[in-house]
Amino acid sequence: MLSVRTSCIISAFVLWVNEVCGIIASYSEKNSAQRVYQGLVELQHRGQDAAGIASLSKEGFVFKRGLGEIKEVFSAHSFGEHEGPFAIGHTRYSTSGGSTSIDIQPFYNPKGAALAHSGHLHPGAWMRAFNNIPGQSRVDSNLLLQFFIQHLEEEDALNEGNFFSKIVKAVRSIYQQVKGSYCVVCLIANKGLLVFRDPQGIRPLCFGERINGENNKEYLFASESHFFQNLGFNLQEVRPGELFFINTKGELYRQVLLQKTHTPCSFEYVYFAHPKTQLNGVLVEKTRQHLGRLLAQQWQEAYSHLNPDFVLPIPKTAITAAKSFAQALQFDYRDYFEVDTTIGRSFIQAEEQQRYKAVQQKLSIKSEKIKDKIILLFDDSIVRGTTAQLIVKQLRALGAKAIYLVSACPPIINICTYGINIPAQDELLAVNHSNDEIKAYLEVDELLYLKKTHLHDTLSQGSKLLPCMRCMNKVV
């Protein structure tokens, strides 16, 4: 009998709260905080637990932070021009622990810095010095801020050079000692904006610039790029191990400090990223279309004798791959789900009960279309099986004749230590269970996963990249 544990487990050795999120930073002589707010709205799919914005002017910092989604925390008229030319923002998706006001980013250090971080830092000796500061958040991002300030102060005391050279040395210390995934935006009082990405480039980070109507340069950084063009920014991607600094005069400095093998997260392509975002020079939408065509080849090889009445994607991430899959096989494609867009993404809910409730509230099926039909249900991935199990039960109750389930991702069989909320192996449906056992548990007639080699070869771009697929590989 297949048993899947449904409670969220946090291992005893984890002493720090970690999170992967959406970040944004802006430099503009006017309305930087407003632009950061607009960008956070576009990044809402990356986190819905909490949000915060920090802006910096000659007068100092202004913070706006709160629990909930972006439009619950802020309104479009929350920001004024007095808030300065620099601003950073953060939307939080907690990968362990709860959401409390003390953990809302950007974090502040009274020595004159505010920092927001997307990623997940591995426990290390450097953390312990900052882990028991009274009244301080134990979120890894806050510990990183304290570590950075400490090293910046050391450089300030020892180095008579310019400020950029001091920042370079402080960030190099981070690269040498801090393991894990991290994209960071940081405001430094009286100095400017610092941005950097970890040497492996695990989490995405984009950079844009434009000339405004007053012939001044403006800069924008964000976790994703799908909204850059609408705002008129030229797009680049921050390279792994690259540092940017913009001073109070608007002068930009950039330098690659350390590069290792580029290992972008595979799950960004499969689930997290917006389809119009560009990752490593390729639209996520095009990647998902290609994966759909590869799955069509797999279906033809394994199940050419089966002919569903239609392909039914589980909204919304699966839609792109499902359409290309159906088109390649000349299967009918149907969109019979009604989606309540006020309900957030189910996968990034912190607890199993919340995920189950989110699926129930978010999706409803046009019941009259299901009776006596053979349905090919298409999902972006199967992690815990929460969404698939609930929807299959609904389809069965509505009279579906047969249900085939296809996943545009290989089986998830390992925890993620780089920021995706997969904290315990015993939560994972595919761990230690055969396809037949999973089919019985989900009550589907057939089950097809994307081959791991197909995902790897698609994302590696001819050996240019080595995509991180840790969650799809067994620990050796």
Residue 400, pLDDT > 60, answer: yes
Looking at residue 191, its amino acid is K
pLDDT score of 353: 60
Question: What is the reported pTM?
Answer: 0.89
Rounded mean pLDDT, 384-412: 96
Query: Terminus-to-terminus CA distance in the chain, angstroms?
Result: 27
Looking at residue 333, its amino acid is Y
Residues tagged active-site: 21
Residues 377, 312 contacting (CB under 8 angstroms): yes
Residue 338, pLDDT > 90, answer: no
Residue 5, pLDDT > 50, answer: no
Reported as a pLDDT band with limits 50, 70 and 90, residue 17 is very low
Rounded to whole angstroms, what are the CA distances from 436 to 1, 418, 430, 442, 473?
Answer: 11, 31, 11, 10, 20
- 23's torsion region: left (phi>0), alpha (psi -120 to 50) or beta? beta
pLDDT score of 356: 54
E-strand stretches of 264-332:
278-279, 282-283, 310-313
Peptide linkage before 423 cis (omega within 30 of 0):
no
Residue 225, pLDDT > 80, answer: yes
Residues near 393 by Cβ (< 8 Å), separated by ≥ 6?
443
Query: pLDDT by residue (tens digit) across 29-65?
Result: 988 999 999 999 999 999 988 999 999 999 999 999 9
Residue 67, pLDDT > 70, answer: yes
Rounded mean pLDDT, 236-255: 97
Phi, psi at 333, each rounded to 5° = -115, 130
pLDDT score of 341: 65
Residues 468, 119 contacting (CB under 8 angstroms): no
The pLDDT mean for the chain works out to 87
Rounded mean pLDDT, 94-101: 60
Q: How far apart are CA 42 and CA 311, in angstroms?
A: 29
3-state DSSP assignment of residue 438: helix
Lowest mean pLDDT among 69-73, 133-137, 272-276, 380-384: 133-137
pLDDT score of 14: 32
Domains in the chain, start-ordered, CATH in brackets? 20-260 (3.60.20.10), 283-341+351-472 (3.40.50.2020)
- For tokens 């632009």, the residue is 35
Residue 12, pLDDT > 50, answer: no
Q: How far apart are CA 192 and CA 141, in angstroms?
A: 19
pLDDT score of 432: 86
3-state DSSP assignment of residue 109: strand
Reported as a pLDDT band with limits 50, 70 and 90, residue 386 is confident
